[in-house]
Structures are given as C-alpha cells and as structure tokens.
Amino acid sequence: MAHSHTHHHSEHHALTPRNLLLVAVVITLCFAAVEAIAGWWSGSLVLLSDAGHMLADSLSLAIAAFAAWIASKPPTDQHTYGLGRAEVIGAWISSLLMVVMVIAIIIEAIARFHEPKTVSGVPVMIVASIGLVVNLGIAWTLSHGEQTLNMRAAIMHVLSDVLGSVVALISGAVIYFTHWTLIDPLLSIFICLLILFSSLQLLRESLLVLMEGVPPHIDLTEVGHAMAKVKNVTAVHDLHIWTLSSGVVMLSAHIEIDDLQQWPQISTAIKHLLDEHYGIDHITLQPETHTAILQPMAYHHRDEHSH
C-alpha cells in the first residue's frame, strides 16, 4: 500500500489567524456595547439588531480563534491527522449561530411593523458611520490572513457587520429627513435575508466536509477515468475522495494492474496526475492483480464509462 502525505504545520501561519481573530473579538465586543447603548437610547431596531449581531459575531470569532489554535496542534498517536478539522467544526457552529440570530431579528422586525416606535435618526447615523469604519478595518485585517474555511466564516461575519452598518446609516438618514420609521424594521429584514443566504451557503460547505463528501470542484468519475488511463493500469475501483480540512483533499483507491513489479512507476505516475491536475497530494493507493469486474463502481482502462 502506498501513502503520499505532505502535512504542513507552520507555526507562523497557524498562529497568525488566531492572533488576528483575537484582536477582532476585542474590537467587536467593545463596539457592540457602544451600539447597544446607542440603539436603546435612539429606539433604533437596526442598531439594536446590529449590536446583537456583533455580539453573536464576537462569539463566532472567539470560536474561530479557538478552532485555529486547536488546528495548529501537531499530529499525535491518537489524532494522526492532527486537529485541522476543528476549524471546519468552528465554521459550522459559527454559521449555525448566524442563522439562529437572523431568524430572531426577523421576528422582532415583523413585530415592529405592527407596533412602530419613535426612532432618532442622528444618533443612528453617527454610530453607524463609526461602525462602518471599524468593521471595514477588521475585515481588511482578516482578509490578509490565511484563507481557511474557518477564517472565511469569520470574514463573512465581519462583512455582514459592514453591511449592517451601511443599512443602519441609510436607515438613520431616511428617518432624519423623512421621519418614516418603518424603514428601520424593513431594512433590518433586508440585511437579515442577505446574511441568511451567506450563512446557509457556508453551513452547507462545512457540513459537506464533516460528512466527508467529494469536494464540489472535483468530479469523481472524471478522476477515476483519468487514473484508469495511466499506462499499465487495468482498472480503478473503491475510489474515495474527501476533504480532511481546508485545503487538504484526501484520496484512496484500489488500482488493478497485471504486474506488481511495475507498481513503483505506476504509483508515481498516478500521484503526479492527481497532484498536477486535481490538486490532490494526500493519496493512499492499493495495488491489486485480481480482476475488478465484480466491483459495482470500477473505472477501466479500455472504456470511457463506469459499470
């Protein structure tokens, strides 16, 4: 059985996302408190919602920082692949929190349509402007870090905060100039729907990794046929492709050949093919000399379809 594993555990790259996230947590928490006070004083649902949003984001960023720290740990006898999947779990929890929070805000916004409240426009605009600058700064900082699935989840949270600040600014301006307070819950629902779309997308991606599904950018059948076309390969079966953690794609397969003495050359050719064309470099191959014709899913050298 042949193994090809190239684990990359750089202390610098592993710690940088964690440090960036910790800074983001502190700043986000501080501004969430300011926004909550301003929202309560002005009566703005947009500000109160955004404060709750940023509080949830602080928790999500803290989870992301903790996950990045765990993922930086080297492999052990018990966790031979390391703990890189902790980042994927962090992204899943973070996305789930966002979905729950968005639903809660939408419910409150709908209630505001039935019972409109007086909202002060000026405080909303001032706080929203400050929030926009703060959130843009955090988003810019995080975007320069390592782009794992976990970090993408964190950036998504901050970008939703940026959007929240823009909406709050628009809401404050409309209320100040027109005194139309229904714009407050209306825009709250709008921002929630946008956040919900992004959250569900990330939730689906992280769940696919946790369920060890084939990465969306890889066609299993195409890979199987490409491997079967390698010189001296008779058939490929028991092919499995999955994502271990962000950027780490795994593959295992049984390779049918006629002569085991040719295996070193065949193995090298297959690994080169997978690395060059599909970006897969964590590979486990098992050579076999018996027929694979009874296998329910086999890719043969001489045909272009699977049986």
Structure tokens at 38: 């301003």
* 11 and 108 belong to one structural domain: yes
CA dihedral for 236, 238, 239, 244, sign (positive or negative): negative
State which of 180, 210, 240 marks the end of a domain. Answer: 210
Q: Please give the Cα distance from 139 to 157 (Å, whole number).
A: 9
Assigned domain for 72 exists: yes
Assigned domain for 10 exists: yes
Q: Are 200 and 192 in contact (CB under 8 A)?
A: no
* 138 and 92 belong to one structural domain: yes
* 201 and 227 belong to one structural domain: no
| pLDDT score of 231 | 93
State which of 162, 178, 210 marks the end of a domain. Answer: 210
| pLDDT score of 276 | 94
Question: How far is CA 234 from each of CA 2, 228, 263, 272, 287, rounded to the nearest angstrom?
Answer: 18, 7, 12, 18, 11
- CA 18, distance to chain mean position in Å, is 16
Q: Are 82 and 7 in contact (CB under 8 A)?
A: yes
* 81 and 189 belong to one structural domain: yes
Question: How far is CA 38 from each of CA 46, 54, 276, 302, rounded to the nearest angstrom?
Answer: 11, 14, 55, 71
Model-wide pTM > 0.95: no
SS3 assignment, position 118 = coil
Q: Are 251 and 284 in contact (CB under 8 A)?
A: yes
What DSSP line would sit under 241-290, residue for residue? EEEEETTEEEEEEEEEES-GGGHHHHHHHHHHHHHHHH---EEEEEEE-S
Q: What is the CATH number of the domain that holds 46?
A: 1.20.1510.10
* 254 and 110 belong to one structural domain: no
* 64 and 152 belong to one structural domain: yes
Please list the ranges in the chain whose pLDDT falls under 70. Answer: 1-17, 145-147, 149-150, 290-298, 300-307
| pLDDT score of 60 | 73
Q: Are 63 and 90 in contact (CB under 8 A)?
A: yes
What are residue 245's DSSP bridge partners? 248
Assigned domain for 307 exists: no
State which of 188, 210, 232 marks the end of a domain. Answer: 210
Assigned domain for 64 exists: yes
Q: What is the CATH number of the domain that holds 247?
A: 3.30.70.1350
Assigned domain for 132 exists: yes
DSSP state of 300: E
* 99 and 146 belong to one structural domain: yes
* 167 and 254 belong to one structural domain: no
Q: Please give the Cα distance from 80 to 239 (Å, whole number).
A: 22
| pLDDT score of 254 | 95
Which candidate, 197, 209, 221, 226, places its Cα nearest to that of 306?
221
Assigned domain for 244 exists: yes
Pairing status of strand 248-257 against strand 233-245: antiparallel
* 146 and 264 belong to one structural domain: no
Structure tokens at 83: 């703990």
Assigned domain for 215 exists: no
* 97 and 165 belong to one structural domain: yes
For residue 286, what are the domain limits?
220-300
SS3 assignment, position 36 = helix
| pLDDT score of 193 | 83
DSSP state of 75: P
* 202 and 239 belong to one structural domain: no
| pLDDT score of 289 | 85
| pLDDT score of 215 | 92
Residues 6+ apart with CB under 8 A from 212: 242, 243
Q: How many structural domains does the chain have?
A: 2
Q: Please give the Cα distance from 104 to 257 (Å, whole number).
A: 59
Conformation bin of residue 57: beta by default, left when phi > 0, alpha when psi is -120 to 50 = alpha
* 251 and 166 belong to one structural domain: no
